[in-house]
Structure 1
Amino acid sequence: MPTPSFTLDQAYFDRVYQANADPWSFATSDYERQKYEATLAALPNAHYENAFEIGCSIGVLTRMLAERCSRLLAVDASELPLKMARERLAPYPDVTIRQMKIPDEFPDTLFDLILLSEVGYYLSIPDLTHARQLLIDHLSPNGHLLLVHWTPFVHDYPLTGDQVHDFFLETAQPSGPLIHLTNQRQSTYRLDLFQKNEK
């Protein structure tokens, strides 16, 4: 069965969350907990002023990330998981939870941290190209971009995690907009950390 060539839309995720409020077991999985710990450990700075998390789902990682951010915008394509995310983040008044479809919608501000975790492979190549440019444009000089994605093939998804990360690595040339700082590869996921090139 061929993989789709189009970006998975809001309706796809609405169906997933209608079937299961926590479809990837974010709140209970040891695998997810360990991946979240590795994600946070990969961040070079102890604290970030203005962070952007794309694909927050029910907000499990968002809550962990909130401890290290003065302001955090967390978004998801589907509104359905965001009720749980808002409840989980209620003690954090500087965290904003919004429904947002990337790359068609994008916040008009600069961030010193952008986290793209388990989202990029839902996008078609044209949309990922658009999203990559938006991420670069909205990253402050020396700001960090962290990518974390599942690497095994999934027939529902337009891309694999490796394709997403390799696509971003194309920009990490000596005179390119991003500097590649870190790569970590586990058995089923990959983590790559970039820094905005201050030019």
Structure 2
Amino acid sequence: MSTQLSTLDQAYFDHVYQANDDPWSFATSDYERQKYKATLAALPNAHYDDAFEIGCSIGVLTQMLADRCSRLLAVDASVLPLKAARERLASYPGVTIQQMQLPNEFPDSSFDLILLSEVGYYLAIPDLTRTRQLLIDHLNTNGHLLLVHWTPFVHDYPLTGDQVHDFFLEAAQPNGPLIHLTNQRESTYRLDLFQKK
């Protein structure tokens, strides 16, 4: 695995959002729409009491998740997209939106569902290692951890999507804390679902 690059910090994402309110076309992209549909279809439970979405951006997927969660904490490293996310989710009283950058900041809660989508490859290995442990520690027994990531190489990113998912698969070895339930690979993204033992 690459260890040459540092974790991308809040300033990186602030710069991206200063240039474009929706830099990855979350609201308009056919790719994103299809990926969101697959993401929701991969969730085994129709409903979750407490969910945690990491990297919510402007809240497009957050809104879809909110219909299946009693309480949903959605966070992003940059504060800039959160105004749009709050406006989009204003009618969902169970949704809380916060600025937070993992692993240095982490909620003091436990969850039935944690979604790490298009975020893990922004972390260098030491930070991804800490993040993986925090996610496991804050996932309830039998809770679900869903990873979805773009797989092509991006020169700015410390890791690839495949490296992130393979790293989490190490925690699903026979004596590990996770069980690997599902793998789905499309042409440009990968989805892996885990359950905590």
- Structure 2 length as normaliser, TM-score? 0.98
- 1:112 is displaced (CA, Å) by 0.3
- 1:173 is displaced (CA, Å) by 1.2
The percent of aligned pairs where both chains have the same amino acid is: 85
- Other-structure match for 2:53: 53
CA deviation map 1:168-189 (0-9, x unaligned): 0001012210000000000000
The answer (yes or no) to whether the contact 2:57–2:76 under 8 Å persists in 1 is: yes
The CA RMSD over aligned residues, in Å, is 1.0
- Structure 2 CA distance, aligned partners of 1:72 and 1:183? 24
- Structure 1 CA distance, aligned partners of 2:104 and 2:66? 25
- Structure 2 CA distance, aligned partners of 1:167 and 1:175? 15
- Structure 1 length as normaliser, TM-score? 0.97
CA deviation map 1:67-86 (0-9, x unaligned): 00000000000000000000
- Structure 2 CA distance, aligned partners of 1:157 and 1:180? 25
- Other-structure match for 1:19: 19
The answer (yes or no) to whether the contact 1:47–1:68 under 8 Å persists in 2 is: yes
The answer (yes or no) to whether the contact 2:54–2:74 under 8 Å persists in 1 is: yes
Are 2:123 and 1:144 aligned?
A: no
- Other-structure match for 1:62: 62
Give the partner amino acid of 2:23.
P
CA deviation map 1:52-97 (0-9, x unaligned): 0000000000000000000000000000000000000001011000
- 1:164 is displaced (CA, Å) by 0.1
Determine helix, strand or coil for the equivalent of 1:195. strand
- Other-structure match for 1:103: 103
- Other-structure match for 1:155: 155
- 1:5 is displaced (CA, Å) by 1.5
Structure 2 unpaired stretches of 5+? none
Determine helix, strand or coil for the equivalent of 1:170. helix
- Structure 1 CA distance, aligned partners of 2:4 and 2:11? 15
- 1:4 is displaced (CA, Å) by 5.1
- Other-structure match for 1:178: 178
Give runs of ≥4 in structure 1 deviating > 4 Å.
Answer: none
- Structure 1 CA distance, aligned partners of 2:70 and 2:22? 27
